[in-house]
Amino acid sequence: MVRGKDSSSAEVHFIGQIVSGSGFSDSQLFCRWSIQTGGAWHHVEGLKEGQTHADCPQLGQAAIWCHPVDVHYTIKGITGWPKLVVQVYSLDGFGRFDICGYGFCNLPSSPGAHSIDCVIWRPTGSLRDEFRQQFVGGGPQLRDPQLVYTSLDRYRIQTTAMGTVHVQISVILRNFARYGIEY
Amino acid sequence: MAAAAAAAGGVPSQQCFLLSVTGQVESARLAGADQLYCRYQLHGGPDWDIVTGLEEGISQVSRPSQDARQLLVWNLPVEVSYKATNPYGWPQLIVSCYGPDLFGNDVIRGLPLFVPESTSQLQKLVSWFTGRRPELADASSLATGDGRDVMRVRSQGYVTCSFQVVTKDLQRLGYDNGRRAPAGAAGGDLQPAGGGDGRPG
């Protein structure tokens, strides 16, 4: 049913999909994603976090998710523009899952269709930890996942690069000109 | 006029925008495919209504080409118009591929890029013999993104779709999607905004 909408506030729509993850050495991968915003953003409708299915690619090396993202916000200020935070996990034959990497990317601030590549990294431990992870699994994980997308001190951790998560997002803005927001 | 329409329970047309999609499900490249037909479904949110066109369609059965491409061509037209008040719930295209197995039953071979896989080995064996593979009970549940975390799938290939999208009154309602309507349209002809905005399968 089509409903009328109040048209006075500045609104933003992010519509797109988390397409795939490539460049990972493990095969069964899934991705946990969430959208983090500042205080001036009010979430109206749509899921702002989720988890994709686990994919085992047959053709090529990319894990294909095609997970839909459709979120609607109203905003009272321009600070805290949303970030997409992803965590990639791998699934083994016994049904256990292990963190494959973390990453974040900023959602675009200009209207239209965009293709974003989100780089993924994994924290590494000592040489002994790396050996153990090769044979038994279960490497180091971040105690506070907020470190991925905030400016908390990172200088203590060591990381190594993993693959890339590909995202396609279209942005629709509403009433930005009325409030004097330039982009 | 607007007040009368509102009193009658309908939404005044000044608050709606229109979206017209013209395109096709072109072709597919799937691992191990022989004869396949595809079905498309368009799934829009609660604020979207179809004006013209069909939400679902089924193609002909196609065989892969004999050359190195091994391409399955359907060339299935998709033509739909929507009326909406909210970009939330923008329509999504779900393409499912079906083909006969050894016993001639039609079983699902692919959904948008992936085949749902059972999570236990025993079920896989049973499904091969009885000709029933695990199938999503409702393919439109893929459109919401909810509940996908319990699925394990095997991606088998690609479906290529191409679309052209034309919108009307989106900017008049205050929305900016990065496209500009042609200026000074007194008597001029509208140019269709090219490029695919649908999700390529």
CA angle at B46 for the pair B43 and B52, rounded to the nearest 5°:
60
pLDDT cut 70: percent of chain A above it? 93
Does B154 sit within 8 Å of A111, measured CB to CB?
A: no
CATH number at residue B89: 2.60.40
Q: Tell me which of B17 and B128 has the higher pLDDT.
A: B17
φ, ψ of residue A151 to 5 degrees: the values are -95, 30
Identity (one letter) of the amino acid at B13?
S
Residue A48: its chain B contacts at CB < 8 A? Answer: none
Cα dihedral value A24, A25, A28, A31, nearest 10: -30
B126 touches chain A (CB under 8 A): no
By C-alpha distance, the chain A residue nearest B44 is A1
Smallest CA–CA distance, residue B10 to chain A, in Å, is 8
| pLDDT value of position B192 | 37
Decide if B46 is inside a domain.
Answer: yes
Are the C-beta atoms of A137 and A96 separated by less than 8 Å?
yes
By C-alpha distance, the chain B residue nearest A71 is B88
Kindly indicate the confidence band of residue B92, based on its pLDDT and cuts at 50, 70 and 90.
confident
* Residue from A30, A31, A72, A172 to probe the interface with B (highest B Cβ count within 10 Å): A172
Decide if B130 is inside a domain.
Answer: no
Does A57 sit within 8 Å of B154, measured CB to CB?
A: yes
| pLDDT value of position B129 | 30
Q: From the CB of residue B53, how many other CB atoms can be counted at a distance below 10 Å?
A: 16
Residue B6: its chain A contacts at CB < 8 A? Answer: 4
Number of domain units in chain B: 1
Q: What six digits make up the tokens of A128? A: 């002994």
Decide if B49 is inside a domain.
Answer: yes
| Residue whose C-alpha is closest to residue A45's, from A28, A76, A26, A69 | A69
Identity (one letter) of the amino acid at A107?
L
Q: What are the percentages of helix, strand and coil residues in chain B, rounded to 5?
A: 15, 40, 45
Decide if B29 is inside a domain.
Answer: yes
Does B179 sit within 8 Å of A5, measured CB to CB?
A: no
Read off the pLDDT of residues B44-88 as tens digits, 9 standing for 90 and up: 889 999 999 998 889 988 888 888 778 888 888 888 899 999 888
B145 touches chain A (CB under 8 A): yes
d(CA A54, CA A46): 22
Close Cβ partners of B140 (under 8 Å, ≥ 6 residues apart): B41, B43, B94
Reduced to 3 states (helix: H, G, I; strand: E, B; else coil), residue A120 is strand
Decide if B159 is inside a domain.
Answer: yes
Identity (one letter) of the amino acid at A119?
V
Read off the pLDDT of residues B96-155 as tens digits, 9 standing for 90 and up: 777 766 554 454 444 443 333 333 333 333 333 333 444 555 555 555 566 666 666 666
Relative to beta strand B152-155, strand A54-55 is parallel
Does A3 sit within 8 Å of B85, measured CB to CB?
A: yes
Are the C-beta atoms of B74 and B28 separated by less than 8 Å?
yes
User: Is the pLDDT assigned to residue B12 strictly greater than 70?
Assistant: no
Placement of tokens 């295209």 in the chain: B93
Identity (one letter) of the amino acid at A127?
L
Are the C-beta atoms of A32 and A48 separated by less than 8 Å?
no
Q: Quote the domain boundaries for residue B38.
A: 17-114+139-148+155-173
Decide if B179 is inside a domain.
Answer: no
Does B117 sit within 8 Å of A56, measured CB to CB?
A: yes
Smallest CA–CA distance, residue B138 to chain A, in Å, is 16
| pLDDT value of position B156 | 63
The DSSP output letter for A52 is: P
Kindly indicate the confidence band of residue B160, based on its pLDDT and cuts at 50, 70 and 90.
confident
| pLDDT value of position B8 | 41
Close Cβ partners of A179 (under 8 Å, ≥ 6 residues apart): A10
* ipTM of this predicted structure: 0.76
Which of B87, B145, B179 is opposite residue A47, by nearest beta carbon? B145
Decide if B62 is inside a domain.
Answer: yes
Residue B111: its chain A contacts at CB < 8 A? Answer: none
By C-alpha distance, the chain B residue nearest A9 is B174
Does B47 sit within 8 Å of A3, measured CB to CB?
A: yes
Least confident interval from A25-39, A76-90, B118-132, B135-149: B118-132
Identity (one letter) of the amino acid at A45?
E
Decide if B100 is inside a domain.
Answer: yes
User: Is the pLDDT assigned to residue B183 strictly greater than 60?
Assistant: no
Smallest CA–CA distance, residue B183 to chain A, in Å, is 18
